[in-house]
Amino acid sequence: MKSLMQLDDMLEWIQFQQIRWNGTYDVHEVSATIFSCSIGKFRLTIEGEGLLVQYLTTEGFLLEVKTIHQIKIEKRVA
């Protein structure tokens, strides 16, 4: 089976309101209610209230969300 991500890339829910990604990505949108980025062949969109970026570096991010409404992971169309 073909690997979709590098072995050391990791998307982790630390607590229900904290989401961390360790790996490369491209940011599309950041606001108090939406965070959207591309991770490899996928697009991750998190919608909620009170979205706060704890850190945002080239090697990963940590988000804190007061109330999560929706998390979408979609395969990007080429």
Beta-bridge partners for 64: 18, 52
Per residue in 54-75, pLDDT tens?
999 989 999 999 988 888 999 8
pLDDT at res. 77: 78
What's the pTM? 0.78
| DSSP notation for 22-74 | ES--EEEEE-SSEEEEEETTEEEEEEEEEEEEEEEETTEEEEEEEEEEEEEEE
Residue pLDDT tens, the chain, 78 long: 344 445 456 666 666 688 999 999 999 999 999 999 999 999 999 999 999 999 999 899 999 999 888 889 998 876
